[in-house]
Amino acid sequence: MTDYSQTATVTQTTTVTQPYIRYDPEYVRSIPGIIKIVCIVLNLIGFICIEVSYFSHLSRGSFFNTVAMIGFWFSGIMLVFYLFHVCEKFHKIPWLKIEMYFCAAWTLLYMLASSLAAAANVEAFQAAAFFGYCAMVAYGYDAFLKYKAVSAGEIAQGSRTVQQQQQQQTVSTVTTY
């Protein structure tokens, strides 16, 4: 007599979202909301530091300002999307992955742009470099948080629950010789 045991795992994922756009001021009190606001402010201050300089036309200043303004607009638009639950309405779009890749890229771009600005012998560029390095840390931390969320299977807004059930089935066979 031989016994065979088979185990099957059934995974059920439930996503709960509200499909209408609404204003939610609580997002700015959350850690991701605070990080987005910090990034927006740091982008803007770094941009202003370069722009008030007489040497803002230099290529390193233009590069820093390009990085700062793209970061400013992306973070600002994402903040508005989260405040009005646009991400929840369109929950099938992988918002967390998009943000994770953007934040990782901006961490590297800010490291480069800030290093170039710091190497310039212009006080305004060096001030911008300080704010750029701060933005680099903020974007890096945000990328880390997004990575953890993506790894856990979360969605940007709303809730997703994953239930796993294991079913065990035993099959007995009788072999006679």
For the stretch 116-141, pLDDT in tens is 999 998 999 999 999 999 999 999 99
Residue 144 lies in a domain: yes
Residue 120 lies in a domain: yes
Residue-level pLDDT at 88 = 85
Residue 41 lies in a domain: yes
Residue 55 lies in a domain: yes
85: left (phi over 0), alpha (psi -120 to 50) or beta: left
User: Each residue of 12-47: b (16+ CB within 10 Å) or e?
Assistant: eeeeebeeeeeeeeebeeeebbebbebbbbbbbbbb
Q: Which band of pLDDT confidence, cut at 50, 70 and 90, is reported for residue 22?
A: confident
Residue 31 lies in a domain: yes
Residue 112 lies in a domain: yes
Identify the domain containing residue 66 by its residue range: 27-152
